[in-house]
Amino acid sequence: MIRHIELRDTTCRFPYCAREAVRTAKDHVIPYSRGGPTDTGQMIALCRHHHRLKTLAGYTPRLVEPGVVHWRGPYGFEHLVTPDGTRSLGRSTNVHVASMSA
């Protein structure tokens, strides 16, 4: 399962991160503690630094399809990360500032 994610994602799935997938953790998009299943369709390669941003700084991933991730940052900036790279989607008008007390 880990090798499948590494081959599919090739790099960390955070916007613009070039860390090789083989040097990342494999992360549940829906946290395991909230019922996220442990399967390749629901997991992504995420380096340690970006895993921290996701967990502590309000960056929210949503899987569009396996290996394709839509990210929304704490200030509303959105990105789409695909096997071809990152595309900026601009800033959402529905901005919320995530709690930093997680």
Applying CB under 5 A, does 53 fall inside the site for Zn ion?
no
Applying CB under 5 A, does 50 fall inside the site for Zn ion?
yes
Query: How many of the chain's residues bind Zn ion (CB under 5 A)?
Result: 6
Count other C-beta atoms under 10 Å from residue 63's C-beta.
16
Q: What is the C-alpha to C-alpha distance for residues 85 and 13, in angstroms, rounded to an integer?
A: 9
Applying CB under 5 A, does 19 fall inside the site for Zn ion?
yes
Applying CB under 5 A, does 51 fall inside the site for Zn ion?
no
Q: Which stretch binds Zn ion (CB under 5 A): 17-25, 28-36, 73-81, 84-92?
A: 17-25
* CA-based radius of gyration for the chain: 13
Among 2, 6, 10, 17, binds Zn ion (CB under 5 A): 17
As a residue count, the chain comes to: 102
Q: Where would I find the H helices in the chain?
A: 2-9, 48-56
Among 8, 14, 15, 67, binds Zn ion (CB under 5 A): 14
